[in-house]
Amino acid sequence: LILMFYAVFYTFLTGLFSLTMWVMLQTVNEYTPKYQDRITNPGLMIRPRTDSLLVTFNTSHESTWLAHVQALNAYLDFYNDSVQVSNNDQCKPGTYYLQEDSGDVRNTPKRSCQFNRTMLGQCSGLEDKTYGYSEGKPCILVKMNKIIGFLPGEGKTPYVSCEGKAKNEKNEWTKDNDKVHELQYFPPNGTLDLMYFPYYGKKAHVNYTQPLVAVKFVNITNNVDVNIECKVYGSNVKNDDERDKFAGRVVFTLNVGSDGTGSA
C-alpha cells in the first residue's frame, strides 16, 4: 500500500513538473532571449584565452608559447577563406546587414558576411605560423561580445584601440605606453565594420562570423608584466563606465620573456 502511495505521489509530481515546464516553454521565444535588454553594452574578450587574462611566455622556450599558437589556430579555423566563401556573403562595407522578419514570418536562417582570415594580415597565422610568439612580437585577437540586435551606431565605424596602463602614486590606473611602444592593427585602424551588425542570435544566425581585431605588439618591453587596456569606440558604445569595468573594454597582462630570463 505504501509503495502504491509513493508511486502515485511521484507520478503526480512528475506530471505537475512536466506541465509547468511545458507552460513555461510556450512563453519562451526560441530566437530572442526574454531579458536581453538587461545587457545593452558589449564587452571585449581576447584570444588566446587564459584563465586570468595573463598571457605569458618565453621566446626561448617553445613549450611556453606553443599552446597559445595552437589555441589561435583552432579558433581561426572557421575564418579560413575557403570556409567563409562557401558559407557567407560578400557584403557591402560601411552599412548594416539588416535582415528583418516580416511579421510572424521569420527570415531565417540569416545570412552572414565574410570575415576572411587573410584580413588579419601578419596575425593571420598563414605566413607567420607562430603569430609572432617565436620572435617576441605576439598577436592578440580582440573580439566584441555578441548582443542580439545591437547596432554600434550610424556614421562612425567602431574600432579597437589599445594602450599601456600603470598605477600612479595614488594607486589609480593611468595611461603608460613606455613599455608598449609600437602597435599594429589588423584590419587597418582596428575597425569592426558595420556590415557585421546586427547579430540575430545563435539559432537564427547559424553561420555568423564574429569580426576580429588583431593587435601585434612589435617591440614590447621584455621580462616584465605589461598591463594593456583595449577599448572599442563607437557612437553607441560606452567604454568609460567606472561602475562596469568590462563595458566596452578589456584589461589583460602581457609578459614576453626572452633569453631564458623571463616567464617560463
- DSSP-assigned beta bridge partners for residue 16: none
pTM above 0.85, yes or no: no
* CATH, domain 42-257, list 2.30.30.60, 2.60.40.1660, 2.60.120.10, 2.60.120.560: 2.60.40.1660
Could you tell me which of 99, 13, 50 has the C-alpha nearest to residue 254? 50
Confidence of residue 102 (pLDDT cuts 50, 70, 90): low
Confidence of residue 36 (pLDDT cuts 50, 70, 90): low
**pLDDT tens string 48-88:** 999 889 999 999 999 999 999 999 999 999 999 999 999 99
Q: Which amino acid is present at 38? A: R
SS3 sequence of the chain = CHHHHHHHHHHHHHHHHHHHHHHHHHCCCCCCCCCHHHCCCCEEEEECCCCCCEEEEECCCHHHHHHHHHHHHHHHHHHCHHHHHHHCECCCCCCCCCCCCECCECCCCCCCECCCHHHHHHHCCCCCCCCCHHHCCCEEEEEECCCECCCCCCCCCCEEEEEEEEECCCCCEEECCCCCCCEEEECHHHECCHHHCCECCCCCCCCCCCCEEEEEECCCCCCCCEEEEEEEECCCCCCCCCCCCCECEEEEEEEEECCCCCCC
Mean pLDDT of the chain: 88
Query: Per-residue pLDDT averaged across 123-137, rounded?
Result: 97
Domain locations in the chain as residue ranges: 1-30, 42-257
Q: Which amino acid belongs to residue 253?
A: T
The percent of residues in the chain predicted with pLDDT above 90, rounded, is 64
Top pLDDT among 52 and 40 is at 52
